[in-house]
Chains A and B, each alone.
Chain A
């Protein structure tokens, strides 16, 4: 099965910072990669699908890139509402795998 390695595990940043989270797949998944945001006590929320497609209603400061085995989520200017945990997920061949998560904390 495909493993997803996300880094860093924790990230301390300030409002206005540019933030980048990386996700690496153990084998090629083409562009079958999604990013989710989860806040405490809430279900995850889809931000990016197919590696770089922005989900409807998600602010344009979120962007995704990559293909094959290397992917990134970028928040261009961190806002107070963005402090949360972020997960990547591969969805290749009717299998899902999540990365271990990146907690974005206030610096």
Chain B
């Protein structure tokens, strides 16, 4: 069974760093792009970036370039999204999604990680 399992909810203070994860199983993790998507409370979906775990080729949305870092560890089939200094405006649900068995459409999604940034 294909699964993307994300790390649990986080509560952080402004200025803190954070790394959340997305572990794939049930398929060849290195062979399909994984994307990260932000959804702020009550708002729509925003694409942050995608990574090809096979060679760590990474593409960022211009809106998120320099604000976050996307990485992957293919040895443990896990993709990451990290911040070096969180802001209150980073409070959101974050989803990973895999373009499994397709071109780049997001066929499988993680359950989401809620990040709350508050002083």
Which A residues contact B (CB, under 8 angstroms)? 1, 32, 34, 36, 38, 43-46, 49-50, 55, 85, 87, 89, 91, 94-101
- With A32-B104, A50-B103, A96-B104 as given contacts, are A43 and B45 in contact (CB-CB < 8 Å)? no
Q: Is the CB of A89 within 8 A of B59?
A: no
User: How big is chain B's contact interface, by range?
Assistant: 20 to 34
Q: Is the CB of B106 within 8 A of A97?
A: no
Say whether B107 faces chain A, with CB atoms less than 8 Å apart.
yes
A1, A32, A49: the one contacting B61 at CB < 8 Å is: A1
B45, B104, B107, B109: the one contacting A94 at CB < 8 Å is: B104
B79 to chain A, nearest CB (A): 15
- With A1-B61, A1-B62, A97-B47 as given contacts, are A89 and B105 in contact (CB-CB < 8 Å)? yes
Q: Is the CB of B59 within 8 A of A98?
A: no
- What are 30 residue pairs bridging A and B, where the CB atoms are less than 8 Å apart in the complex? A1-B61, A1-B62, A32-B103, A34-B105, A36-B106, A43-B97, A43-B109, A43-B110, A43-B112, A44-B45, A44-B106, A46-B106, A46-B107, A49-B102, A49-B107, A50-B103, A50-B105, A55-B107, A85-B44, A87-B44, A89-B106, A91-B104, A94-B33, A94-B59, A96-B37, A96-B47, A96-B106, A97-B47, A99-B44, A101-B45
Q: Is the CB of B105 within 8 A of A43?
A: no
